[in-house]
Copies of this chain bind each other. A is one copy, B any other.
Amino acid sequence: MSIAPVIYVIEPFGGSIRRHNANLPLLFADDLGVTRGDGIFEAMRVEGGQAHNMERHLERFRRSAEALDLPLPTPEKWQEATKAALEEWGEAEGKCTWTLTRGRASTSIPTGWVAVEGIDAETLREREKGVKAITMERTWQLPTEFPAKTVNYAATMAALRYATKQGAQDVIYLNGAGLVLEGSRSSVVTTKGRKLRTPAAPGILPGTTQAAIFARAEADGWRCKRKEMNVDYLLGADSVWLVSSTRGPVRVTHLNGQKLPKPANVEEIRELMRSAL
């Protein structure tokens, strides 16, 4: 997208918000967000001047901050900054990201900002065409008490580069016992008849989009639940989806090189999932 991102900085401890020119640097070299990856984020879809599913993101953001002993975000301030950014951004679809880091080592003042930007071309393509995915054992565990959504994605980015070299576009993580965990930046949802399933296993980041989809689908008469599943379960499902706020529902077309079925009601499912976002 050639449209410049809109950035609003949130002064921590409940202070003011201010607009930041995206063409100027924002973070100092000693920000612990970059020197130690000591920060958290949330990303959500925006459209029509609205941030979608904001309550669920606020709640997870708060819990991530809690897990990292960061000052708890003041919801009103983040909502105010998001609103200001969206007024400037307009009606177009986009991605809104909240980031909160421990801030500069030299000042101990946390760094927080809201950024709204366009959806990248790759994401638009994946929504339409789906993705080929490979499974990979995840060699790290998120703390089970609450898996915080930190900015520590270096291993994930390496996994995605590996997937690309294998001709795939995404990775589905398994644990050491072969149980399905989640996508690299998404939750896994499967369909079988009128049933939706998402993996149950320790260390899965609670998916805001998966939760919204389940809530909507249950209202529409689908039966939804968490379930322990392995790769064979994925291969035997009617369809497999990676769902996340900004990518929306993305169908997995191939898993480990094997073509997955495309059910007759694929458009109905896609529409159900989209309507929940």
Contact = CB atoms under 8 A, between A and B. Distances in A.
This chain: how many copies in the complex?
A: 2
A151 B25 contact: no
Given A25-B24, A152-B152, A68 B36 contact: no
A151 B150 contact: no
A161 interface: yes
Contact of A31 (B27, B68, B141): B27
A36 B153 contact: yes
Contact of A155 (B99, B102, B152, B156): B152
Interface in A107-122: 113, 115, 117
Give the size range of A's interface with the partner.
35 or more
A30 B22 CA distance: 9
A115 B154 contact: no
A237 interface: no
A7 interface: yes
A33 B7 CA distance: 18
A257 interface: no
